[in-house]
Every structure is written in C-alpha cells, then in structure tokens.
Chains A and B, each alone.
Chain A
Amino acid sequence: MTAVSTLTPVLTDTWDKDRSWRLATYERAGGYAGLKKALTMEPAALVQAVKDSGLRGRGGAGFPTGMKWGFLPPPDGGPRYLVVNADESEPGTCKDIPLMLASPQHLIEGVAITSFAIGCDHAFIYVRGEVLHVYRRLLNAVEEAYKAGYLGKNIQGSGFDLDVTVHAGAGAYICGEETALLDSLEGLRGQPRLKPPFPAVAGLYARPTVVNNVESIASVPAIVAKGADWFSSMGTEKSQGHGLFSLSGHVTRPGQYEAPLGITLRELLDLAGGVREGHELKFWTPGGSSTPIFTQEHLDVPLDYESVGAAGSMLGTRALQIFDETVCVVRATTRWTDFYAHESCGKCTPCREGTYWLKQVLHRIENGDGVDNDVELLLDLCDNILGKAFCALGDGAVSPITSSIKLFRDEYQAHIDGHGCPFDPSASALFPYTPKTRTPGALAGAGAGGH
C-alpha cells in the first residue's frame, strides 16, 4: 500500500477555487476526464473497475457500490434508472450538501459515468427541498453539462444519450431510505417498500434501478480516471478509499476533513484543534444520530466499517458530532427521539407507536417527573422496536437511547432521583445566555412538542 498523506483531498480539491461550482472550473481541474475515458470502455469493465476499487456506499450502509450495480438483471430492452440519493438529513451528516454547493459537477460527471455503466438513459437526483441554493446549483450544473455535451444526446460523440432530472423533495427524513425515496419520486407519500424485491430488480416505476448516495457517485470519476488501484491504495484492507469526515459540535475547527478511511477521531481532533477550549470530550457519534454513541474510550478506533462495527457502533455517514462535558446526555437523546418520532412515517406500528412512547417517557425523565422503573421501561420499549420495525428508521431511533443508557445510566437515574436535569443548558451553548423559564404549552410548539 502506498504511503498516503493524513488528509487526501479528492472531492474537496476544487472547493477553494474561484467559482468552484462552474463547469469551467471543474474542467480546468481535470474534470470530465473520467467520463471521456469511460465512454471508450465497455460498461461491464466500468462496473468491474468500481467493484475492484472497493468503493462502498457512502450514504451509511456501506454496501459495495460496484456490486450494487452488478445486481441489475440483464438488459431486457426496457428502461433502467439511476437515482441519486441527495436527501441528506441524518442528524450530524453534513457532507453531501457542501459538496453539491461547491462542486456539483463532481456529482454530474459521476451520474453520467454510472448511467453509462448500468445502461441508464434517464437519471434522477433527489435532493432534499430544504436547501434552496444547492438546488439552484444542481439545476445550473445540469444545464451547463447539457450545453457542453456531457449530457443529452450522443454524449461526446459516443452515441450514448442521457437525461438528468433534478428533483426537489419537500421535507421528510424517511425519504433518505432508498425505497421511500423511490415512492416519493413517484409522487407518493415517502414510505418504505417491502424488500425484496430490491430496487435493482424492481425500483423506480418497478424497473431495475440503482440508488446511490451523492458521495458514492461523486467518487466514481476519479476511480475511472486514475484507476481502481489508486482508490484502493487509500484506506484499510476492507474499507478502501477516501471519505468525507464531518466534525461538528464542541470542536475548535468544525468542518469537512477528507481522509482515507481508517483515520481515528484522535487524529482528526488533532487537526481540528481539539475539543472546545477548556472542555473535554464526553460522547460522540461516529456516523450520525442513528449510530450508537462512543466516548473517550473510542478515540483510537479506526474509522472504517469493520473497526467501528467491532467497537459496537457503525461508521454510518462519518458524521462526527462532538459533545463536551457540559452536555446532558438525556437532553441530547431526548431531542434525537423527538426527531425520530416526528419523522416516523407511520407505516408500521412498532416505530410509529414506539417512538411516540419513547418520547413521552424521555420527556418525563428530562422534566423531573421520571419514576423509578423508567430506564427499564425505555429499554423495554426499545426492545419492542429494534428488529421489529418495517425499515431501519426504528432501529436508528433506539440506537442513541440504548447506547446512552449503557454508557451513562447513572445520568438517567440522577434525573429521576433528583427530579430534574442537573445540567445548566446554557453551559453547552457557544454564547452566554440566561435560559428562559416558560409555562409548558404557553406558546404552541415552543417546547419540544413542535417536533
């Protein structure tokens, strides 16, 4: 394996350029070399190259991208679709949105190559509706790519045709689940589908469909241009390549750090100036709120799929949310639970009812009205959701609760025994303020009920 730098800018490499979002900027930096090369190759060789690179889904699940492409059935003359999951909404995850804002052409080139590889002539980018300027940049990027002959009819004289539609969602976390996304794209409520059949067999309009995350697709052009070996020379044996690590929260320099998979939080924190000055790390998420929380004990866990899994969590989206000792873990968990209860789509009972009751019990504890058995009650509720919900949202909802009880059970008990939260909420804020005392329900939704 080649020795590599601590950080390896690939996707981020053009982000500091003037008007980085423009096609001309991207081309000057070598953009579209991957597509030009791809069009001279056999589609099957492209699929093989991505398989060989070891690229695994960057949207959280980590499924091998090339293998996903390879699951499409042989062409039957009917349409096949590529749908890009740009519905980035997992709490803590903030990598695809800045990527599309700064360098949408990375994604568009990846879409063109992937579509050519899987035999798709109409691709869709499903972006969440709550990022207006990102949607503008995507629309503009597609328009520029059409004008330059990277999309449309007879692309670069190859005979390959491709249309790309950028589709804005309308506010629903569940649409990040790939089958809910497909239902939403078909103009329905975004609710997950039973699998199998998997989208590869019956996806959009019941046709063979590949659904990939933004960062996965944006990683394809460089793999094609520079080779599978180049990509797999970064990272670990089973978690290859570069990835965006998003540091947020109580860290001196939050932001995007593009590094080979396998870097540790300790290394990343060193680069980011450490935890907020005068404070220490209390807990963190390795890959968004749906991944069990970690503590200081896990600072040296290599951030790759296998190591994070072996340590009891998941790499997820590499959304590293850092919380220092001022943060009440019950408050943090309660708020995440509000989120899951709000975003539960309602299709299945364990998740719909379970998240509702989790929220009631957690609020009771946080407000000082908890009773002795409440921690057991929470664990029992979680047990009735985990593995019993229709999709992974339910499983994600219990992750912060079960993991925080495991690591900080005393803190839950302190809320119950002390009839309230022992923490000063203002201590965790970035500015001084005096918390307002309010009558619950005085303003509609002013409390967590707004979720």
Chain B
Amino acid sequence: MTATDPVVEPVETKTRYDAETLAGLTADATAIMARYPDPRSGLLPMLHLVQSVEGYVSRDGILFCAEMLGITAAEVSAVATFYTQYKRHPNGTYTVGVCTNTLCAVMGGDAIFDELSEHLGVGHDETTDDGAITLERVECNAACDYAPVVMVNWEFFDNQTPETATALADKLRLGEDVVPTRGAASVCSFKQMSRVLAGFSDGRADEGTSAGEPTLAGLRIARENDWRAPDAAPATEDRAGETITGEPGSSAERQPTTPSDTQVGKDKKPGEDAK
C-alpha cells in the first residue's frame, strides 16, 4: 500500500471557499482521512462532507477533495457521479424519496409518488420552488416489511399512503418538525444529514425506537409460544470451560459433503454475488 500523505493545509487552493469555511473543511477532511490506512478511502465521506456545506457536490467541493487527496478533479468527479446520494445541483432542505421498486410500487408506492409529484408540481430529482423538497424515486431501502415506504433525508417513514405522504410534505414545506417511524425524534436537514454520513456524530443515536412491529413479528410469536433456540442457557451461566468441538459423532466431525465445502468460489450462482 502506498499511502499518500494527507495535505493538511493546501498551500494553494482553486476553490472559492472563504477562509473560515476552508479551514473547517480542511480540519474535518483531515480527521476523515485519519480513519483509514489509505487517505483515499476517505473520499466518499469527504463528498458527504462537502455536501454538508453547500447542499450538493459543487465544483468547489470536487476541487477541495482533489486538493486534499492529491488527485485530479476528474478522478473525484468520476466517483461523485457514480453514487446517487451525491447531488449535482443544490438539493432541497429535505429529500423525499418514495420507494418505487417492485414490492413497494405495487403495494402503493407508485400511487404515492404520483400523488406527491402532482401535489408538489415536481418530478423525480426535482426541487420545489421554495427549496424545501427534492422529490425522488428511490430503490429498495431494506424496509420491505413496512411497505410502502417513504424516506425523508434517509429516515424511515413506514406504511405510507398518498394522504400521509402529502401531509408529511406539507409539514416539511411549512418548516414543521416531522417524526420518523423508526429514526431520530425529528428529521434533520439535508446538510446536517450529510455531515453525519461523513462520520461526524450528531449525538442522536439514542433517540427513537428499537424496532417497529414487523421487525418484532416473529419474536412476539416465539414469546407467546415459549419457543426458544435450543439449550437457551441463562445468560449468567458460566460456559467458559465448555468445549466447542462437540461430542463424538457431532457435526464437528462433519466431512466435506458438497462442492462448496471444498471449492473456492465455484458455488456462485446467478445473482448471489450481487448481494
């Protein structure tokens, strides 16, 4: 590994940030780069960082990242344009993302998107005139058991309808707090969110719930039926001396029986690597 030494203070900058902004960004970017054996690994969080200042990845943001990492602006642009969370024009205060991947779409996501689009007068990746909301169609956000799902600044708003979604959008445009179903006690701004995604905690991890009802659906049934994993020993029992290799004849002595037991990567089937 050839680690590029971080340039803590760019001697000369082509960015148009004022001195204070640049100093803040430089300190934060330096902290980001220090998290990794190779500073280049810090590029994704650094792009979130520059978004937290301007609400999008601007020309200056790209130049700043390039200068910090000692790479070209083209190399930074190549990365910035690959990922959908990096915005190429100023984002609204809130990204409202409606899941329109198959499952959410058929369960009502399409109707929600159409309703919101008409209500707000904007289409996908467009921002309302007041700068409050950027509407997006989003891909599966791993909350399928709460379909249809809407994300506001990447906080979960589960089990939505066209009515709840338009009411949500109206509150956002009025500047009122909205409360995610599973998330912080309120939704922060796009810029604040971007700063958290750059790895700078906002101290809000303890807000909100552990889980919604669907997350607990199986556990509730297990509790009702007193179903447990086998040998559910009390947590306090000292099991430290127990052998982990099993009794004679146990699976610990299992011989390789399938090709995947013995062959590297030969068991790959269509689609498996994609997730």
List the B side residues contacting A451 at CB < 8 Å: 100, 137, 139
- Chain A nearest CB, measured from B157 CB (Å): 12
Asked if A279 is an interface residue, CB under 8 A from chain B, the answer is no
Could you say which of B182, B218, B261 contacts A133, with CB atoms under 8 Å apart?
Answer: B182
Q: Closest residue of chain B to A395, judged by CB?
A: B270
**Structural contact, B123 and A444, CB atoms closer than 8 A:** yes
Q: List the interface of chain B (C-beta within 8 A of A).
A: 1, 35-38, 40-45, 47-48, 69, 78-79, 82-86, 97, 100-103, 105-108, 110-111, 113-115, 117-118, 122-126, 136-148, 151, 153-156, 161-162, 180, 182-184, 193, 196-199, 201-202, 204-206, 208, 210-211, 213-223, 225-231, 233, 235-236, 239-240, 242-247, 250-252, 254, 257-258, 260-261, 264-265, 267-275
**Structural contact, B210 and A16, CB atoms closer than 8 A:** yes
- Chain B nearest CB, measured from A273 CB (Å): 9
**Structural contact, B114 and A254, CB atoms closer than 8 A:** no
**Structural contact, A133 and B216, CB atoms closer than 8 A:** no
**Structural contact, B230 and A133, CB atoms closer than 8 A:** no
**Structural contact, B196 and A186, CB atoms closer than 8 A:** no
**Structural contact, A398 and B270, CB atoms closer than 8 A:** yes
Could you say which of B100, B155, B205, B258 contacts A21, with CB atoms under 8 Å apart?
Answer: B205
- Chain A nearest CB, measured from B19 CB (Å): 27
What would be 15 A-B contacts, judged by CB atoms less than 8 Å apart? A15-B211, A33-B239, A48-B245, A61-B272, A129-B83, A170-B85, A185-B41, A188-B40, A272-B217, A314-B270, A314-B271, A316-B272, A428-B107, A436-B118, A448-B100
List the B side residues contacting A137 at CB < 8 Å: 205
**Structural contact, A433 and B108, CB atoms closer than 8 A:** yes
- Chain A nearest CB, measured from B203 CB (Å): 9
**Structural contact, B140 and A186, CB atoms closer than 8 A:** no
**Structural contact, A21 and B44, CB atoms closer than 8 A:** no
Asked if A149 is an interface residue, CB under 8 A from chain B, the answer is no
**Structural contact, B196 and A136, CB atoms closer than 8 A:** yes
**Structural contact, A187 and B79, CB atoms closer than 8 A:** yes
Q: Closest residue of chain A to B145, judged by CB?
A: A254
Which of A101, A343, A345, A451: most chain B CB closer than 10 A?
Answer: A101
Q: Compute how far the CA of A369 lies from the CA of B47 in the bound complex, rounded to whole angstroms.
A: 43
**Structural contact, B79 and A227, CB atoms closer than 8 A:** no
**Structural contact, A207 and B1, CB atoms closer than 8 A:** yes
**Structural contact, A430 and B107, CB atoms closer than 8 A:** yes
**Structural contact, B202 and A136, CB atoms closer than 8 A:** yes
**Structural contact, B86 and A392, CB atoms closer than 8 A:** no
List the B side residues contacting A428 at CB < 8 Å: 106-107
Which 6 A-B residue pairs are closest in the complex by CB-CB distance? A445-B124, A290-B271, A255-B217, A395-B270, A30-B235, A396-B271
Could you say which of A6, A61, A254 contacts B217, with CB atoms under 8 Å apart?
Answer: A254
**Structural contact, A89 and B103, CB atoms closer than 8 A:** no
- Chain A nearest CB, measured from B158 CB (Å): 11
Asked if A139 is an interface residue, CB under 8 A from chain B, the answer is yes
Q: Compute how far the CA of A319 lies from the CA of B258 in the bound complex, rounded to whole angstroms.
A: 24
Asked if A274 is an interface residue, CB under 8 A from chain B, the answer is no
**Structural contact, A5 and B250, CB atoms closer than 8 A:** no
Could you say which of A135, A184, A246 contacts B145, with CB atoms under 8 Å apart?
Answer: A246
**Structural contact, B139 and A89, CB atoms closer than 8 A:** yes
List the A side residues contacting B126 at CB < 8 Å: 443-445
Q: Compute how far the CA of A4 lies from the CA of B225 in the bound complex, rounded to whole angstroms.
A: 13
Which of B85, B107, B228: most chain A CB closer than 10 A?
Answer: B107
List the B side residues contacting A450 at CB < 8 Å: 100, 123-125, 136-137
Asked if A311 is an interface residue, CB under 8 A from chain B, the answer is no
**Structural contact, B107 and A101, CB atoms closer than 8 A:** no
Could you say which of B125, B260, B270 contacts A63, with CB atoms under 8 Å apart?
Answer: B260
Asked if A40 is an interface residue, CB under 8 A from chain B, the answer is yes
Q: Compute how far the CA of A430 lies from the CA of B103 in the bound complex, rounded to whole angstroms.
A: 11
Asked if A261 is an interface residue, CB under 8 A from chain B, the answer is no
Q: Compute how far the CA of A257 lies from the CA of B221 in the bound complex, rounded to whole angstroms.
A: 9
- Chain A nearest CB, measured from B101 CB (Å): 5
**Structural contact, A258 and B218, CB atoms closer than 8 A:** yes
Q: Closest residue of chain A to B2, judged by CB?
A: A205
Which of A128, A321, A323: most chain B CB closer than 10 A?
Answer: A321
Tally of chain A residues near chain B (CB < 8 A):
172
**Structural contact, B206 and A19, CB atoms closer than 8 A:** yes
| Contact status of A253 and B267, CB under 8 A, knowing A190-B82, A232-B251, A258-B219 | no
Asked if A49 is an interface residue, CB under 8 A from chain B, the answer is yes
- Chain A nearest CB, measured from B6 CB (Å): 13
Q: Compute how far the CA of A448 lies from the CA of B110 in the bound complex, rounded to whole angstroms.
A: 10
List the B side residues contacting A361 at CB < 8 Å: none
- Chain B nearest CB, measured from A407 CB (Å): 16
- Chain B nearest CB, measured from A101 CB (Å): 6
- Chain B nearest CB, measured from A200 CB (Å): 8
**Structural contact, B103 and A425, CB atoms closer than 8 A:** no
List the B side residues contacting A10 at CB < 8 Å: 229
Could you say which of A18, A48, A97, A438 contacts B114, with CB atoms under 8 Å apart?
Answer: A438
**Structural contact, A173 and B274, CB atoms closer than 8 A:** yes
| Contact status of A165 and B35, CB under 8 A, knowing A133-B183, A428-B107 | yes
Could you say which of A61, A242, A272 contacts B267, with CB atoms under 8 Å apart?
Answer: A61
Q: Compute how far the CA of A225 lies from the CA of B1 in the bound complex, rounded to whole angstroms.
A: 36
- Chain A nearest CB, measured from B88 CB (Å): 13
List the A side residues contacting B86 at CB < 8 Å: 170-171
**Structural contact, B122 and A443, CB atoms closer than 8 A:** yes
Q: Compute how far the CA of A246 lies from the CA of B151 in the bound complex, rounded to whole angstroms.
A: 20
Q: Closest residue of chain B to A2, judged by CB?
A: B230
Q: Compute how far the CA of A257 lies from the CA of B219 in the bound complex, rounded to whole angstroms.
A: 7
Could you say which of B144, B151, B222, B230 contacts A7, with CB atoms under 8 Å apart?
Answer: B222
- Chain B nearest CB, measured from A315 CB (Å): 9
- Residues 356-375 of A at the B interface (beta carbon under 8 Å): none
Stretch from A151-159, A233-241, A295-303, A409-417 at the B interface: A233-241
Could you say which of B36, B197, B267 contacts A62, with CB atoms under 8 Å apart?
Answer: B267
Not counting A88-B142, A132-B196, A177-B274, a sample of 8 additional A-B residue pairs whose C-beta atoms are within 8 angstroms of each other reads A5-B229, A8-B230, A62-B267, A89-B140, A172-B82, A225-B239, A258-B218, A436-B114
Q: Closest residue of chain A to B39, judged by CB?
A: A187
Q: Compute how far the CA of A256 lies from the CA of B219 in the bound complex, rounded to whole angstroms.
A: 8
User: A52-76 vs B: 1/0 string, CB under 8 Å?
Assistant: 1110100111111001000100000
Asked if A224 is an interface residue, CB under 8 A from chain B, the answer is yes
| Contact status of A228 and B245, CB under 8 A, knowing A170-B85, A171-B85, A186-B38 | yes
